[in-house]
Amino acid sequence: MARILGGIYTSHIPAIGAAIAKGRQGEPYWKPFFDGYPPVREWLDAVRPDAAVIVYNDHGLNFFLDKMPTFAIGAAPEYRNADEGWGLPTLGPYAGCPELSWHLAESLVADEFDMTTCQEMLVDHAFTVPMSLLWPEPERRPPVVPISVNTVQHPLPTPARCFALGRAVGRGIASWPEDIGVVVIATGGLSHQLDGRRAGFINREFDLLCLDRIATEPEALTRYTIRDLVRLAGSQGVELIMWLVARGALGGHVSKVHSHYHVPVSNTAAGVLVLDNEAA
């Protein structure tokens, strides 16, 4: 059966993609952020995943406010990027893993999660920026299964529901009959607010608590409401729910391989975390 090797949790700020495109990783503003990623790539080189499940949120490139599924899964042979208006270069295409995607879609629906299944799917910076951070060389990237979570149009799925989805994803991966290693990646966060009177809001204390609890006590984070997350992490800080999906997919016992936190990147608190799945 398939094995979940571990989880990676990372921010996905558009400005990161621009810095990569312009070769600014070594500049004083950017170096403290990019210094957090060599240990992540070393871990990936060691475990060598055959596939990656990427939990992210679409910002209007594939879904918009008139049609916004709560949960969607890609089942395409490849995924393309397009211009979002950030001035980022168009990247990709990214190889899909449609057989695993369909298996997960069927498993999740049987597990009573009503997924929107997409046989065509554009992926935005929330997907492409982490891929560039984790695998700078495109030829080394494994095939992917994207799972999109609504963090834009209320009502949003609760943290508890997202953690339960992750557990269902974990069961689906474990029931895949092929002997492959899978890494589960969550993107987004940490605390940030891009609009309103609290624009620029960052909550370092809450971010560091989340980086710890995701590893040691994820169930504690499921007790927050969406309203709680907006208050504590900002209106866009609700992206923490995607980290809960990816954490739910892992076993109960994990080991922390690497953690890094830097403030700010653009106007966002940036974090990266690697958890090794001891059950694997």
Catalytic one among 192, 253, 258, 260? 192
Cα–Cα distances in angstroms (integers) from residue 210 to residues 36, 46, 162, 225, in the given order: 17, 26, 15, 14
Distance CA 100, CA 111 (A): 16
Provide the residue type at 74 as one letter. Answer: G
Peptide bond into 136 cis (omega under 30): no
Catalytic one among 12, 103, 125, 262? 125
Distance CA 111, CA 109 (A): 5
Using DSSP's 3-state secondary structure scheme, residue 148 falls into: strand
Please list the residues that pair with 31 across neighbouring strands.
none
Active-site residue flag, 260: no
Measuring CA to CA, which residue among 23, 47, 9, 36 is closest to residue 265?
A: 36
Is residue 85 left, alpha or beta, with left meaning phi > 0 and alpha meaning psi from -120 to 50?
Answer: left
- Which residue, chain included where needed, has tokens 């939990």? 55
Distance CA 196, CA 269 (A): 18
Active-site residue flag, 262: no
| C-alpha dihedral (224, 230, 234, 239), degrees to nearest 10 | 60
Residues marked active site are found at 125, 192
